[in-house]
Amino acid sequence: MEKRIRVLARVKESQAESKEVVETRCKSKEVFYANDPNIEWYKQNIPCMYACPANTRVPEYLDSISRGDFDKTYLINRTDNVFPHTLGRVCSHPCETACRHGFEGLGDPVSICWLKRAGGDYRGKGKIKLEASKKKTGKRVAIVGGGPAGLTLANDLALWGHNITVYEALPIAGGMLYSGIPAFRLPRSLVQDEIKDIINLGIDLKLNVRIGKEITLQQLKDSNGAVCITIGCMLPVKLNIPGEDYQGVVPGLDFMMQVNTGKLKGIRGTVVVIGGGFTAMDCSRTALRLGAEKSIVLYRRTRNEMMVDERELKETSLEGVEFQFLVSPLNIISKAYPERQRGNGETVSEIECVKNKLGEPGPDGRKKPVPIEGSNFKIKADWIIPAVSQQSDPSLLPSKLNIKTEKGMATVDKNTYMTSEKGVFACGDFVSGPRNIISVVGEAHRVARAIDLYLTGQKRIKEKVARIVFKQGGLRSITQWKANNQDIYDVIPRKEIPSLKKEQRRGLEKEVDLGYKKETGQMQADRCYLCNHNIQIDGNECILCANCVDVCPYNCIKMARKDQVMVKFSADFKNENLDVFYMLIDEEKCIRCGLCLDVCPTACLYMEKFQFEKEFVE
């Protein structure tokens, strides 16, 4: 996180006991580049919320868990990211990467993802549901695709009073949630419950309907005010090596779909999975559960370049999956196995590979794998599962509508999300290539607002900001905004979520991760610094005593002379040349401990909570 220095107050020199004395308290010789924040700056100062593509109000729901209000936690996540149970298990959690608690010297990030799950696990038995607007717009919207993007769109637009129909080609909605992720990571009953909650908003879900066969895109355009295409990326990216058409070679997503729909119930022998993402890990773990004697993952770079996090790699290794790094496939070799042949095809027996070394970084910043001459070797294999990536299928777009594409993906206006065909929108992986679930959900929220604006001509979703002030409260001001563990919240260690022992991980349905116990979840939520709270100073009451500067445990608060401070105006920093002393705060390591409030002799310091909400205005 870049240095974020904020002006707390401009205090007139005349308010000090002596200008000369105060100057001795301005101990730093640094020139400070400071901001006079607006609301957007304060939002960015909540790093977890700002990093979340759906702008989930993370501190708000962590504070709710700390106070034992799991219903509120669930409701915040149901509103902000739509799939609390799902994302509490399989989210890529960019919020945790951004978490201030994980900054250098402050410890480990808060376990935000697992605490999202706790909100669902411990919510009350009563039904917590969102209510669609009773004031209907009379506008009809057709959504093509019932995956995370399509369901999020349907959810939002139905809440705002539109008539929504979702068309899904498969026999069940959910897209990758249902077809691409194994049940031992994401229980099917939870996915079904979350889909049901969305459909119950009054959405018409039509299954087994393929665009271009049972109905055309032109028909949808003619009978609806807007159409949005959210068909994702369902075509596998090929390895482009000899032998990919042999029996026993199954693309990763196809493999998971066959397993999750019950078409593939068992395998044997050695399974080789190619790739370094979550689909590759899912395939390798699933293969062992289906009966494979050995499961091997090949990845062309090192562990450091893999797209999965450390815990996913650890769990995969624990279950017995073997990893071979710096290895690329060259050739799939066949051998006739009459008992396994279907038709006249050839069947996999080996895969030839080459060892790599890392070269110069590519456009994505990761070092490119460079083959090592003469390092070829072979691995015996009964199944080969390429899981390197997926791509969209532009052939689903009818030529009559003239929807422009680029690299096989639909192109959309960056502001309206409309394609080159008026009234036809697109979002999700179909416009970007494969992404994580939370990124797709965040984009779908924005597309829903764009479609609503297109249909109604009004911006009906407003941002509401409430400010709540906590003033000095004796010697324990923190108790006003921090529910529990006020003395140790910043040193409570991060606790891993419990999971099944290796010998218990049998079958496809048994969930591996068990979730926090309620009391553990509350203590883990206590670790949150509550970055939606900000120290403020009433400059008219400050006497420049420097008590707050001296007591701050991380040296966040600064007192500076006027010649030491440059304040940002538009894009430039300028010296204001005022007869004042500046009170500043370096937000990077402020842990909201409130000690500065406690020692202030004039009670000019206070804590201010920023509460952000999206408000629907009919």
Using the predicted structure, report yes or no on whether residue 157 has a pLDDT greater than 70.
Answer: yes
DSSP letters, 388-425, are S-EE--GGGS-GGGT--EETTEE---TTT-B-SSTTEE
| DSSP label at residue 101 | G
Two tokens at 85?
């149970």
Q: Name the residue among 1, 44, 7 with its Cα closest to residue 573.
A: 7
> 291 or 19: which carries more pLDDT confidence?
291
Q: What is the pLDDT of residue 618?
A: 83
Q: Taking CA 94 as the corner, what is the angle to CA 93 and CA 95, rounded to the nearest 5 degrees?
A: 85
Residue 610, number of CB atoms within 10 A of its CB: 18
* Domain ranges for the chain: 1-44+532-618, 140-234+392-461, 237-388
Over the stretch 282-310, which tens digit does the pLDDT of each residue have?
999 999 999 999 999 999 999 988 888 88
DSSP letters, 255-311, are HHHHHHTTS-----SEEEEE-SSHHHHHHHHHHHHTT-SEEEEEESS-GGG-SS-HH
Q: What is the pLDDT of residue 2?
A: 57
Over the stretch 128-142, which tens digit does the pLDDT of each residue have?
889 999 999 999 999
Using the predicted structure, report yes or no on whether residue 393 has a pLDDT greater than 80.
Answer: no
Over the stretch 217-266, which tens digit does the pLDDT of each residue have?
999 999 999 999 999 888 888 999 999 999 999 999 999 999 999 999 99
Q: What is the pLDDT of residue 365?
A: 82
Q: What is the pLDDT of residue 341?
A: 43
Fold (CATH) for 1-44+532-618 = Alpha-Beta Plaits (3.30.70)
Of the listed ranges 118-127, 205-214, 491-500, 508-517, the one predicted with least confidence = 118-127
**What's domain 140-234+392-461's superfamily in CATH?**
FAD/NAD(P)-binding domain (3.50.50.60)
Over the stretch 541-589, which tens digit does the pLDDT of each residue have?
999 999 999 999 999 999 999 999 999 988 899 999 999 999 999 999 8
Residue listed under structure tokens 């979520």? 497
**Separation between Cα atoms, residue 9 and residue 22, nearest integer Å:** 15
Q: With contact defined as beta carbons under 8 Å apart, do 428 and 575 qualify?
A: no
**Separation between Cα atoms, residue 590 and residue 484, nearest integer Å:** 19
Q: What is the pLDDT of residue 343?
A: 41
Identity of residue 290: L
Residue 384, number of CB atoms within 10 A of its CB: 26
Identity of residue 198: I
Q: Which long-range contacts (CB under 8 A, 24 or more apart) does 513-518 make?
A: 513/89, 513/185, 515/114, 515/117, 515/118, 515/121, 516/114, 516/115, 516/117, 516/118, 516/121, 518/70, 518/118, 518/122
Q: What is the pLDDT of residue 40?
A: 94
**What's domain 237-388's superfamily in CATH?**
FAD/NAD(P)-binding domain (3.50.50.60)
Confidence (pTM): 0.93
**Separation between Cα atoms, residue 64 and residue 78, nearest integer Å:** 14
Our measurement of the distance from residue 169's CA atom to the centroid of its chain's CA atoms, rounded to an integer in Å, reads 26
Q: Name the residue among 134, 176, 174 with its Cα closest to residue 158.
A: 134
Q: Do domains 1-44+532-618 and 140-234+392-461 have the same CATH topology?
A: no
Q: What is the pLDDT of residue 338?
A: 46
- Average pLDDT over the chain reads 93
Helices (H), 494-546: 518-526
Our measurement of the distance from residue 388's CA atom to the centroid of its chain's CA atoms, rounded to an integer in Å, reads 21
Q: How confident is the model at residue 373 (pLDDT cuts 50, 70, 90)?
A: very high
Over the stretch 414-452, which tens digit does the pLDDT of each residue have?
999 999 999 999 999 989 888 999 999 999 999 999 999
Over the stretch 314-344, which tens digit does the pLDDT of each residue have?
999 999 999 999 999 999 999 765 444 444 5
Q: What is the pLDDT of residue 339?
A: 46
Over the stretch 484-521, which tens digit does the pLDDT of each residue have?
999 999 999 999 999 999 999 989 999 999 999 999 99
Q: What is the pLDDT of residue 336?
A: 61
Q: What is the pLDDT of residue 392?
A: 79
Q: How confident is the model at residue 1 (pLDDT cuts 50, 70, 90)?
A: very low
